[in-house]
Amino acid sequence: MRQHPVVLAFMARNVLEGAVGGARQGYRATRSELSGLVPPHAVSAALNDFRAEGLRLSAALRSVELVEWALRGKLRSMSLRCELLAAGSMRVIVAVQPPGSGP
């Protein structure tokens, strides 16, 4: 597959789409399936974990989508801007321009 990176990007996108969908389904089902089986604080913790994991997976999916678009020639240009946030975290802002758009 090293000779065909677009195949790897395609596979990664599909795996991540499934993972994001699974995290969303798990989040929706948490209360109905776990209430009464575990204490309320455990249900809340599970919801928080699903939320955090969903955000992480969604960000990874967006990154892979951008790579795949670039490999398929669907991006005219891409720019990145990084912003340092509190507690040493960072936010990355990506601006993309599809072919045929803009100057």
Residue pLDDT, tens place only, 15-26 = 999 999 999 999
Q: Which pLDDT tens digit goes with each residue over 9-48?
A: 999 999 999 999 999 999 999 999 999 999 999 999 999 9
- CA distances to 8, 16, 65, 102 from 53, rounded to whole Å, are 22, 12, 18, 36
* CB of 91 closer than 8 Å to CB of 59: no
Structure confidence at residue 4 as a pLDDT band (50, 70, 90): confident
Burial of 73 per CB tally in 10 Å (0-12, 13-18, 19+) = exposed
Q: Cα separation of 26 and 69, whole Å?
A: 29
What is the phi-psi region of residue 88: left when phi exceeds 0, alpha when psi lies from -120 to 50, beta otherwise?
left
